[in-house]
């Protein structure tokens, strides 16, 4: 696959018009955590053994997939011209830049000769249990993939292509490098845009986040950085003081 080297972008400290697609994808785990990440209130985690292992696995997977077809190389060369020098691939909505930064590992684009484009998002997990993946991991990867398709959609059209309605998320065992399962992701442009707008409005008005409370058990695994800013935790503290 063509190589893309972009400068790593530091998260702004105030409410930004720049929102990373992967941070927004976190919405389907916890809307409040997604707000923290997208607004730069909590920086992305420092690299861990798991994240570094995932990066290595992506690199191995990329190199093992073989050479691209000529028409795919042509498309990727054309696609590279649409990159923002700071953010990568960007689409603007309601004054916000939603972006997909290809710095670091890159996931796959599959392109047919008629320039029909599908996204294949590869995820490496330490827990290979399929029911666990389907219940807790796929929901985030699904939204993330839909966001990426939405970002690329107008660019693909400008290049004379079509963004496919069917995409994929492949889960791999990080320990054995074996394929676990591939999930189909259906991309519906209008619905995806509506979901993105819902997130943006909630980021701008945190009170709207209260409509999307996380499951209580998830809070046990929340980091201190998120807990310190959590609007749900603050509301609970206020109730305790009043009672």
**Cα-based distances in Å from 231 to 36, 38, 87:** 10, 15, 29
The mean of the pLDDT values for the chain is 85
Q: Which of 44-48, 185-189, 227-231 has the lowest mean pLDDT?
A: 44-48
Q: What mean pLDDT is predicted for residues 30-49?
A: 83
pLDDT tens string 43-93? 876 555 455 556 666 666 766 666 678 999 899 899 989 988 888 899 999
Q: What percent of the chain has pLDDT over 70?
A: 81
Separation of CA 187 from chain center: 14
The 3-state secondary structure of 167-225, one letter per residue? EEEEEEECCCCCEEEEEEEECCHHHHHHHHHHHHHHHHCHHHHHHCCCCHHHHCCCCHH
d(CA 37, CA 20): 9
pLDDT range class, residue 128, cuts 50, 70, 90: very high
Which of residues 186 and 66 earns the better pLDDT score? 186
Q: Where are the domains of the chain?
A: 18-242
Q: What mean pLDDT is predicted for residues 96-122?
A: 82
Which of residues 21 and 56 earns the better pLDDT score? 21
d(CA 128, CA 237): 37
Q: Which two tokens stand for residue 217?
A: 């058990």
Q: Which CATH fold would you assign to the domain 18-242?
A: Lambda Exonuclease; Chain A (3.90.320)
Q: What is the pTM of this model?
A: 0.85
Predicted confidence at residue 58, as pLDDT, reads 64
**Cα-based distances in Å from 20 to 11, 80, 117, 132:** 9, 19, 21, 26
């Amino acid at each position: 696959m063509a190589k893309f080297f972009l400068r790593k972008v530091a998260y702004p400290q105030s409410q930004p018009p720049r929102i990373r697609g992967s941070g927004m994808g976190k919405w389907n785990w916890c809307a409040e955590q997604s707000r923290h990440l997208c607004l730069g209130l909590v920086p992305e985690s420092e690299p861990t053994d798991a994240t570094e292992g995932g990066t290595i696995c992506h690199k191995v997977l990329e190199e093992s997939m073989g050479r691209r077809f000529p028409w795919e190389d042509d498309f990727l060369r054309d696609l590279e011209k649409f990159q923002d020098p700071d953010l990568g691939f960007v689409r603007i909505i309601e004054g916000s830049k939603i972006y997909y930064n290809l710095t670091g590992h890159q996931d796959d684009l599959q392109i047919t000769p008629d320039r029909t484009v599908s996204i294949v998002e590869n995820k490496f997990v330490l827990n290979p249990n399929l029911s666990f993946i389907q219940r807790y991991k796929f929901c985030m990867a699904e939204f993330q993939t839909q966001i990426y398709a939405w970002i690329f959609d107008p660019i693909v059209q400008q290049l004379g292509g079509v963004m496919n309605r069917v995409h994929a998320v492949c889960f791999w065992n990080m320990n054995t490098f074996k394929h676990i399962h591939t999930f189909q992701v259906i991309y519906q442009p209008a619905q995806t845009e509506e979901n993105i707008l819902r997130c943006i409005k909630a980021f701008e008005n945190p009170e709207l986040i209260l409509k999307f409370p996380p499951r209580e058990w998830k809070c046990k695994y929340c980091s201190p950085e998120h807990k310190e800013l959590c609007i749900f935790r603050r509301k609970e503290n206020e109730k305790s003081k009043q009672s």
